[in-house]
Amino acid sequence: MSISNLVFAAITMAYGIMFIVTRLQEMAQAGSLLLMPLIMVIVGFAVAVLGIKWILASVEIFSSIEELKSAYDAKKGQMTPEDSTGFIIQMINQYRTNKATIRTMILVCTAGGFCFLVLGIMSSIEFVSAGLPSGMITLNYLLIPSAFLSLGIATVSLLCSYYFRRYASVWDMRLSEISRSENVLEKTMEQNSP
Amino acid sequence: MSERRTRYEIYWEILVFCKTPRSFTGIINRCDLNSKTGQEYLELLCRKGYLSLMKDHEKTSYIATERAAEYIALFGHLYQTLFDEIPGFKL
């Protein structure tokens, strides 16, 4: 999942750059500043920035998880209950720190997934374009790779969003359990006060 | 550790660290607290009877009491039950 998330982010960035380059070329050939290509350049720039930000956020999240996992593996076998509780606290803090980013990723993955799905469906329809007046069916084979790519990216991004959602729901459940535990701890501390 | 810990998590960290006598500086460094909040936490834990002060000549240190062991055990139990198995790291 982590690799597919990074791949999706990289493809998003590449798409953005592709938009910028092709539209700039168009404008250079036309020799004037055209409104539509200019808008596409701006959109492409935003998509490229989103891709870069996404890669950085993913790397940050995954490296912090990896760091904790290494520390956990190093202690495996000789772990005291306190070490174990300490790791749980660190994991919870990690989730608290990354919660906002993960939420954004869920939204972006879902939105991006649907955009690519629409793009993929449109390319697929274009691939089999029906010539209604003549009754002939034309197959545009050049659109096959683009349709497959879009549908593939859509699948990966929707899967990413699904797994992120599952991950977040498990941790949110744990956080709500922690709030309940806090009540127990508070009561215990009050009862035990000298 | 980040500042996103709850105060109960910080209490736990302080109490576990103070199983052996610890200085104020040692505690705030280890538990990543500033001196003001560190002082507040330590005062509260002393007031509640979870920490006691030890004075050796001019050195003052904090040590966890028996009551702290109860808190640590309860906290550990509550947090461990959040996970059915050992901590998992898979996303």
pLDDT tens, chain A, 194 aa long: 667 778 778 887 887 888 788 888 888 888 777 777 788 788 888 888 888 888 888 888 888 888 888 888 888 888 888 888 998 899 899 889 888 888 888 888 888 888 888 877 877 776 666 555 566 666 666 667 777 877 888 888 888 888 888 888 888 888 888 888 899 999 988 876 66
Instruction: Kindly state whether residue B87 falls inside one of the protein's structural domains.
Output: no
Instruction: Kindly state whether residue B70 falls inside one of the protein's structural domains.
Output: yes
CB A98 within 8 A of CB A92: no
Give the CA-trace dihedral at A16, A18, A24, A29, to 10 degrees.
-160
Instruction: Determine the Cα–Cα distance for residues A112 and A12; give it in Å rounded to an integer.
Output: 9
Q: Does A182 touch chain B (CB under 8 A)?
A: yes
User: Does residue B64 surpass a pLDDT of 80?
Assistant: yes
Task: Tell me how many degrees the CA angle A124-A127-A128 measures, rounded to the nearest 5.
Answer: 100
Res B30: pLDDT: 93
Chain A residue with CA closest to B80: the answer is: A85
Instruction: Determine the Cα–Cα distance for residues B29 and B23; give it in Å rounded to an integer.
Output: 10
For residue range B7-25, list pLDDT tens digits in order.
999 999 999 999 999 999 9
Res B36: pLDDT: 94
Q: What is the DSSP-derived secondary structure letter of residue A129? A: E
Q: Does B67 touch chain A (CB under 8 A)?
A: yes
Report the largest interatomic distance among the alpha carbons of chain B, rounded to a whole angstrom.
52
- To the nearest whole Å, the CA of B47 is away from the closest chain A CA by 8
Instruction: Kindly state whether residue B42 falls inside one of the protein's structural domains.
Output: yes
For B65, the domain range is 7-80
Q: What is the DSSP-derived secondary structure letter of residue B20? A: S
Chain B residue with CA closest to A102: the answer is: B91
Q: B62: which strand partners?
A: B22, B53
Instruction: Determine the Cα–Cα distance for residues B30 and B44; give it in Å rounded to an integer.
Output: 18
**Residue labelled with tokens 């702290």:** B68
Domain count within chain B: 1
Mean pLDDT along residues B46-63: 90
CB B12 within 8 A of CB A85: yes
Instruction: Kindly state whether residue B30 falls inside one of the protein's structural domains.
Output: yes
Res B34: pLDDT: 92
- What percent of chain B is predicted at pLDDT more than 90? 71
- To the nearest whole Å, the CA of A55 is away from the closest chain B CA by 16
CATH number for position B42: 1.10.10.10
**Residues of chain A contacting B3 with CB distance shorter than 8 Å:** none
Report the largest interatomic distance among the alpha carbons of chain A, rounded to a whole angstrom.
93
For residue range B22-41, list pLDDT tens digits in order.
999 999 999 999 999 999 99
Pairing of strands B59-64, B22-23: antiparallel
CB A170 within 8 A of CB A147: no
Instruction: Determine the Cα–Cα distance for residues A150 and B49; give it in Å rounded to an integer.
Output: 63
Res B87: pLDDT: 47
- To the nearest whole Å, the CA of B66 is away from the closest chain A CA by 12
In a 10 Å sphere around its CB, with 0-12 CB exposed, 13-18 middle and 19+ buried, how is residue B90 labelled? exposed
Number of inter-chain CB pairs under 8 A, A vs B: 88
Option in B47, B49, B74 nearest A185 (CB):
B74
Chain-centre distance for alpha carbon B41: 9
Domain residue spans of chain A: 1-78, 81-194
- To the nearest whole Å, the CA of A50 is away from the closest chain B CA by 22
**Residues of chain A contacting B14 with CB distance shorter than 8 Å:** none
How crowded is residue A78: how many other Cβ atoms within 10 Å of its Cβ?
Answer: 7
Instruction: Kindly state whether residue B89 falls inside one of the protein's structural domains.
Output: no
Instruction: Determine the Cα–Cα distance for residues A111 and B50; give it in Å rounded to an integer.
Output: 51
User: Does residue B90 surpass a pLDDT of 50?
Assistant: no
Q: Does A89 touch chain B (CB under 8 A)?
A: yes
Q: Is the ipTM of this complex over 0.95?
A: no
CB A185 within 8 A of CB B73: no
**Residue labelled with tokens 């500042």:** B3
